[in-house]
Amino acid sequence: MGVDEAEVPVDAVGKRVSCGGERATVRYFGPVSPTAGLWLGVEWDNPDRGKHDGSHEGVQYFTCRQPTGGSFVRPAKVSFGVDYLTAVRQAYKIDSEEVLSEEISISKKKLKWGNIKERGFESLPSVLLSRSDVSWSGADGEIRTTTPNVEWLDLSGTLLSCWEDVATISQQLDRLGGLQLSYNRLRLPPDPSALRHAFSALKVLVLNGCQLTWPQILDCAPMWPQLEDLCVEENSITELQRPEGRLQSLKSLSLSSNPLVQDSVLSLSALPRLEQLNLSKTGLSVIRFEDAAPGSHTAMYAALKNLNLDHNNITEWFVVDELAKLPSLVRLSCRGNKLVSRDGNPKTANQMLIAKLGQLVVLNGCEIHADDRRGAELDYMKMFGEEWLKAGGRSQPSPQFICEHPRYQALISKYGAPEDGELRKPEPFALKNQLLKVTFVFPDDANRKPLEKKLPASMVVQKVKGLLYRLLKVPAADLRLTYTSPKVAHSVKAAAHTRSPVFLCLCLHVQSEHATVG
């Protein structure tokens, strides 16, 4: 595994090595007094693996990011890695002689192998070398002839030291469209544009956990002229500068698990083709589009369709109203935040999200069906109906109400103004507050007065019939129920089977109901 002192590369400092299953970067090569021989001073990727900051007995031989990130190791303990094709053969080669020597027994009969042709690597569409010891390309031209059809290459967690080393591999893979380089420590090139040819066809690039800052990513961007999908999670990205003239072909960007400066997020609106943005676990609490009034569309992020804000610090509903300004947003993931409705019910909070975001098609990975949207919007109207009235709703709501509920007037245009009997004050989430008042009328019996009952919203038709049997002494099989509501233009027949979804869904979306019993 290790090397002799004489075999240590002349340019060892900056090289990547493996030692005892851990990855490190060489920061020093030479003597360490008062010991004999030569040592490698390394900075570990995992700082818990080290013992010091690069000093020994008061002498600073090298520096580390972390106070315990360094160690001195003998060259015989480390590996400087292998070339690309050696790693491919180690990962994919089948030893045909070993296979031929094995016996096959079927029903106690011994069979012999026929002629086996060793499989080549020419047809491989992808090469996965994650955590391998790849550190350089090997002989010039061999990669192009040995693995010419590779479209996806995984070199995450390898011993590659710099972008020039990556380029000597990728420039021999003419079809390379996707490259995974996560958990590497790559030195930045002095002139990124000079490596442009090596990544000319690259569409997808993953650089998670590479200790990169946003300015460094922008500096490297000229290397990737056709890049459409960039994933840079778990890096050292804080403030986002505007990518002027950089990454202009980008359609998808993931910045998850970076401690972002939230005021700088709007800088990404300079990416004109950006359709998908992942800002989960970035500490965001506020986002504002001050170029647009409540209820109108912002000029920023014109192409953005899919936004992930999971596990952030969003607590205010005005942030959702700001998201409604995004003209193309149809998919939102907002799990793990603290957006709470007045009744404290998570389902109500989801309904508010749906009602406030009129263009949304998918919320938290679930498709929003027409019935879901209708129910959420009607409930939202009832939930804030009293505030709407107090704000002058029947004539013109106050500017404050419009600011807090930008879609309310649009919902009135869609469904009509809420009726007085439908308005309800916000109440805590409790069983008694989930009861619906249902009025039973009897069109075939003029002498019988209407009957009012408060029933749980989840009560199914069969149990309603059982209740009516006890009250009216009429067998359940002889009962025919139809359902009307101010928001439904026609009567709906309640199905006779035990768990009718018709009654359940419609009851959930109205306050005062009428059931006709015949």
Q: How would you write the pLDDT of the chain (518 residues) with one tens digit per residue? A: 577 765 788 888 989 999 988 999 999 999 999 999 999 999 999 988 998 999 998 999 999 989 999 999 999 999 899 999 999 999 987 544 554 455 544 445 555 545 444 457 899 999 999 999 999 999 999 999 999 999 999 999 999 999 999 999 999 999 999 999 999 999 999 999 999 999 999 999 999 999 999 999 999 999 999 999 999 999 999 999 999 999 999 999 999 999 999 999 999 999 999 999 999 999 999 999 999 999 999 999 999 999 999 999 999 999 999 999 999 999 999 999 999 999 899 999 999 999 999 999 999 999 999 999 999 999 999 999 999 999 988 778 999 999 999 999 999 999 998 876 666 555 555 555 567 788 888 887 778 888 888 888 778 777 888 888 787 777 877 778 887 765 555 555 554 343 333 333 333 233 334 455 54
What was the pLDDT predicted at 512?
A: 35
Long-range contacts of 480-486 (CB under 8 A, 24+ apart): 480/517, 480/518, 481/515, 481/516, 481/517, 482/515, 482/516, 482/518, 483/513, 483/514, 483/515, 483/516, 484/513, 484/514, 484/515, 484/516, 485/510, 485/513, 485/514, 486/419, 486/421, 486/422, 486/510, 486/512
Phi and psi torsions of 198, nearest 5°:
-75, -15
Domains, the chain, with CATH or none: 15-77 (2.30.30.190), 293-299+316-327+338-425 (no CATH), 435-510 (3.10.20.90)
- Take residue 25 and report the two structure tokens written for it: 């970067």
What was the pLDDT predicted at 109?
A: 52
Q: Please, are residues 352 and 344 in contact by the beta-carbon 8 Å criterion?
A: no
CA–CA dist 79, 57 (Å, integer): 27
Q: Please, are residues 292 and 325 in contact by the beta-carbon 8 Å criterion?
A: yes
State the pTM of this model: 0.77
Start-to-end C-alpha separation, the chain: 88
DSSP letter assigned to residue 79: B
CA–CA dist 480, 65 (Å, integer): 77
What was the pLDDT predicted at 504?
A: 32
